[in-house]
Copies of this chain bind each other. A is one copy, B any other.
Amino acid sequence: MDFYKNEPSVLLAVDCVIFGFDGESLNILLFKRAIEPEINKWSLPGGFVQADESPETAAARVLKKLTGLADIYIEESQVFGAPDRETYRRVVSITYYALIDIHKYEHIITHEYEAKWFPLSDYPPLIFDHQHMIEVAKRKLRSKAALYPVLFELLPEKFTLPQIALLYEKTYDIVLDRRNFNRKLLHSGLLIKLQEKDKTSSKRGAYYFKLDKDVYKEKIMSFLRYLPSWNIGSEKDQ
């Protein structure tokens, strides 16, 4: 059985745009590249898809290896496969974006790799088309987060209303009316109020909330039935 024998083969890579929110800005995790070519330049973490794994598995493996984290929210972003996108060989890259709780990462990080968080709004030049990958991932994240409450994946187990609001502001580059946004959140059924307060950012303290896991899963998994709302949401500069 030797079908397809005249078809060209390619190297298949995965690259990951890892988003993290530190309470101030939305960040991406970049790595000093450890292999040739372009060694020591900033890049997205990536690797090659091995013979026994699917691309998704490869992305999860790369993330596990580089951040120590498993069970991370990963979403496919886009394939980058222009014939000349890398200099020396043809490599087709499938990009994923991951949403992680930056604090978990800080505890587990192995310092085997030179990695650094950069604000999404200000990161250094990257190799190949990695900057483009980030822009696409950002756009996909915005679309996804408009329909599903995925941004909670960026927050710790316990979080405060001001934190969520800031996260949405940074994700969409907008300024929200906190009063209205709070109300929307509280009415969503997603949040369970805790007694404990976060006193790190104010004297009064802000109540912690946690996710109602059941409601959250339902909303995350739900299959869209109807929503077309293409009259709103875009190009309205504040």
Q: Give A residues with C-beta under 8 Å from B.
A: 1, 3-4, 7-12, 35-37, 48-56, 76, 78-79, 81-83, 88-92, 94, 139, 142-143, 145-149, 168, 172-174, 184, 187-188, 218-219, 222-236
Contact partner, A223, options B76, B83, B90, B234, Cβ 8 Å = B234
Across the two chains, which residue of chain B brings its CB closest to A39? Answer: B3
B226 touches A174 (CB 8 A): yes
| Most interface-central of A52, A223, A236 (chain B CB within 10 A) | A223
Chain B residues within 8 Å of A10, by CB? 9-10, 12, 49
Contact partner, A139, options B7, B218, B224, Cβ 8 Å = B224
Chain B residues within 8 Å of A48, by CB? 4, 7-8
Contact partner, A145, options B37, B228, B232, Cβ 8 Å = B228
Chain B residues within 8 Å of A4, by CB? 11, 48, 89, 91
A235 touches B230 (CB 8 A): no
Contact partner, A147, options B82, B143, B168, B222, Cβ 8 Å = B143
| Most interface-central of A91, A145, A227 (chain B CB within 10 A) | A227
A-B interface, 10 closest residue pairs, ranked by CB to CB distance from nearest: A227-B233, A222-B234, A9-B9, A146-B227, A7-B48, A55-B81, A142-B224, A172-B226, A149-B230, A8-B51
Write 6 A-B pairs (CB below 8 A) sorted by A numbering.
Answer: A3-B89, A4-B91, A9-B12, A53-B83, A143-B143, A146-B147
Count this chain's copies in the assembly. Answer: 2
Across the two chains, which residue of chain B brings its CB closest to A37? Answer: B3
Chain B residues within 8 Å of A218, by CB? 235
**CA–CA, A31 to B61, complex, Å?**
36
Chain B residues within 8 Å of A82, by CB? 54
Question: Are A143 and B224 also in contact (CB < 8 A) when A3-B89, A10-B9 are?
Answer: yes
B7 touches A9 (CB 8 A): no
| Most interface-central of A54, A148, A188, A218 (chain B CB within 10 A) | A54
B188 touches A230 (CB 8 A): yes
Contact partner, A225, options B53, B94, B235, Cβ 8 Å = B235
Q: How far is the CB of A98 from chain B (nearest CB, A)?
A: 16
Question: Are A88 and B172 also in contact (CB < 8 A) when A143-B224, A147-B147 are?
Answer: no
Chain B residues within 8 Å of A76, by CB? 78-79
